[in-house]
C-alpha cells in the first residue's frame, strides 16, 4: 500500500510536470505577444515594454519556466507593478484582475467546491439509488419511469435545465433567491439556498447517467452465480441485494464517479455561467477571453491536479472494494 502510494504520487508529479511544461509551451512559447492582452487599458509602447520586462518575457523560455515553477514551490519576487513579493504557491500576477493569481484562485475555488461536492453527493445517491431500485423492480412501472428519467436527463443540456429551474423556482414561485455564492461558514442557509438550483440541475443530468449505469451493473450482477449461491444459502432477498449484489455492482460506478467529480472540480463552466456564479470554470473562460495568461496557466494546472488526485482516490477505493485488486 505504501509502495503503491509512493509510486502513484511520483507518477502524479510527473504527470503534472508534463502538463505544466506543455501548457507553458502552448501559452508562453507561441510566437504571439502575450502582453497586449494582459496589459491594462491605455497601454502605450513604453508601458508595454515594461510589462514585458517584468513578466520576464525577454528571458529564454526555459528560464521563464524555471522561474514559474520556482514561484509555485518557494515563491518569488515579481516586479513592483505586479505587487512585489509573491509567496508560494505563486502562480504569477494577473494584470486583468489586478491581483495575484493565487488570490483569485483562493476566492473562486471554494465556489466551485461548494457547487460540485454537494451536487456530486446528490447525483450519486439519486442516480445509484434509482438505478438499483429499477434493476430490482425490472419491468415495472417504477423501472419504466426511471428509464424515462434517465433518457430525459441524458438528452437535456444544463443551460436548459438550469434556465427552466431558475424560471420556475426563482422568478415564478420565488422559493429560491437569485443564485449566488455566500461562504458556507458565513451563513450556511444562504450558502445552500444560493446554490441549490445549481446542485439540482447538475445532479439531475448526472444522476440520469448514473441511474442507467448502475441499473445495468446491478442487472448484470444479479445474474452472477454468487448471487444465486447467496440465495441458495437461504439469505433473505434484501440481504442478498444489499450485501452481495450491491457491492459488486457499485465497483464500476465508483470509477466513473471519481473521474467525473475530478473533472467537475476543474470547473463547471456552464453551470457557473447559467447561474451567474463566479467559480473556477468561469474564471478560466474569462481568462481565455481576456488573454490573461497567468490565470489560464493556473486554472489548467489546478484542473490537472484534480484529475490526477481523483485517479489516485479511485485506485485506492477500488482496492478497498475488490480484494483481487492489490495495490503494488
Partner 1 sequence: MGKPEPTSSGVPDDRQSTTAADSTGPYLRVTDLRVRFDTEDGVVRAVDGVSFGVERGRTLGIVGESGSGKSVTSLAVLGLHNAKRTTISGSICLGGRELVGLGEEQIRRLRGRDLAMIFQDPLSALHPYYTVGRQIAEAYRIHHPGASRRAARQRAVDMLDRVGIPQPAKRFDQYPHEFSGGMRQRAMIAMALVNDPALLIADEPTTALDVTVQAQILDLLADLQAEFHSAIILITHDLGVVGQVADDVLVMYGGRAVEHGTAEQVLRRPQHPYTWGLLSSVPTLHGPADADLVPIRGNPPSLIDLPAGCAFHPRCGYAARTGGRSTGEVPELRPTDEPGHLVACHLPAADRVRIRTEETAHVGVQS
**DSSP H or E run through 100:** strand 99-100
Scored b (16 or more CB within 10 A) or e, 215-243 reads bebbbebbeeeebeebeeeeeeeeebbee
Question: Would you tell me which residues interact with partner 1 (CB under 8 A)?
Answer: 224-226, 228-237, 244, 247-248, 321-324
**Is residue 168 within 8 Å of residue 248, measured between CB atoms?**
no
Nine cell digits for residue 309:
488526485
CA 132 to chain centre: 26
- CA–CA distance, 192 with 176 (Å, rounded to integer): 10
* Shortest distance (Å) from residue 243 CB to partner 1: 8
- CA–CA distance, 68 with 63 (Å, rounded to integer): 8
* Shortest distance (Å) from residue 221 CB to partner 1: 10
Cβ-based neighbours of 181, under 8 Å, separated by 6 or more: 111, 114, 191, 194, 195, 277, 278, 279
In the complex with partner 1, the residue whose CB is nearer, 60 or 323, is 323
In the complex with partner 1, the residue whose CB is nearer, 186 or 225, is 225
In the complex with partner 1, the residue whose CB is nearer, 230 or 296, is 230
- 3-class secondary-structure state, position 78: coil
* Shortest distance (Å) from residue 134 CB to partner 1: 16
In the complex with partner 1, the residue whose CB is nearer, 7 or 233, is 233
* Shortest distance (Å) from residue 232 CB to partner 1: 5
* Shortest distance (Å) from residue 138 CB to partner 1: 10
Of 103, 47, 36, nearest to 291 by C-alpha is 36
**Is residue 100 within 8 Å of residue 92, measured between CB atoms?**
yes
Residue 291 phi/psi, 5-degree rounding, is 65, 35
- DSSP, res 79: P
* Shortest distance (Å) from residue 253 CB to partner 1: 15
CA 149 to chain centre: 24
Cβ-based neighbours of 188, under 8 Å, separated by 6 or more: none
In the complex with partner 1, the residue whose CB is nearer, 67 or 255, is 255
In the complex with partner 1, the residue whose CB is nearer, 41 or 326, is 326
* Shortest distance (Å) from residue 245 CB to partner 1: 9
* Shortest distance (Å) from residue 323 CB to partner 1: 5
In the complex with partner 1, the residue whose CB is nearer, 63 or 322, is 322
In the complex with partner 1, the residue whose CB is nearer, 243 or 289, is 243
Amino acid at each position: 500500500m505504501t509502495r503503491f502510494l509512493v509510486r502513484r504520487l511520483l507518477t502524479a508529479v510527473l504527470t503534472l510536470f508534463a502538463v505544466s511544461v506543455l501548457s507553458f509551451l502552448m501559452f508562453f512559447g507561441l510566437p504571439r505577444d502575450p502582453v497586449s492582452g494582459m496589459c491594462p487599458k491605455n497601454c502605450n509602447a513604453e508601458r508595454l515594454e515594461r510589462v514585458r520586462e517584468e513578466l520576464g518575457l525577454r528571458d529564454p523560455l526555459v528560464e521563464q519556466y524555471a522561474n514559474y515553477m520556482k514561484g509555485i514551490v518557494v515563491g518569488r519576487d515579481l516586479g513592483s507593478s505586479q505587487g512585489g513579493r509573491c509567496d508560494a504557491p505563486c502562480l504569477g500576477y494577473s494584470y486583468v484582475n489586478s491581483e495575484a493569481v493565487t488570490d483569485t484562485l483562493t476566492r473562486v475555488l471554494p465556489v466551485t467546491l461548494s457547487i460540485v461536492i454537494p451536487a456530486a453527493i446528490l447525483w450519486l445517491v439519486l442516480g445509484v439509488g434509482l438505478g438499483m431500485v429499477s434493476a430490482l423492480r425490472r419491468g415495472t412501472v417504477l423501472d419504466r419511469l426511471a428509464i424515462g428519467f434517465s433518457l430525459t436527463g441524458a438528452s437535456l443540456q444544463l443551460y436548459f435545465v438550469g434556465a427552466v429551474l431558475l424560471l420556475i423556482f426563482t422568478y415564478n414561485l420565488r422559493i429560491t433567491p437569485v443564485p449566488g455564492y455566500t461562504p458556507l461558514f458565513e451563513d450556511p442557509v444562504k450558502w445552500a439556498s444560493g446554490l441549490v438550483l445549481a446542485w439540482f440541475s447538475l445532479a439531475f443530468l448526472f444522476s440520469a447517467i448514473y441511474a442507467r449505469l448502475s441499473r445495468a451493473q446491478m442487472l448484470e450482477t444479479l445474474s452472477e452465480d454468487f448471487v444465486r449461491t447467496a440465495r441458495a444459502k437461504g439469505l433473505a432477498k434484501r440481504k442478498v441485494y444489499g450485501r452481495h449484489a450491491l457491492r459488486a455492482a457499485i465497483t464500476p460506478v465508483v470509477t466513473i464517479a471519481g473521474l467525473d467529480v475530478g473533472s467537475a472540480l476543474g470547473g463547471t463552466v456552464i453551470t457557473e455561467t447559467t447561474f451567474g456564479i463566479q467559480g473556477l470554470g468561469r474564471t478560466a473562460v474569462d481568462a481565455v477571453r481576456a488573454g490573461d495568461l497567468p490565470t489560464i496557466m493556473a486554472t489548467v494546472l489546478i484542473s490537472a491536479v484534480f484529475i490526477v488526485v481523483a485517479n489516485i482516490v479511485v485506485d485506492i477505493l477500488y482496492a478497498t472494494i475488490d480484494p483481487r485488486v492489490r495495490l503494488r
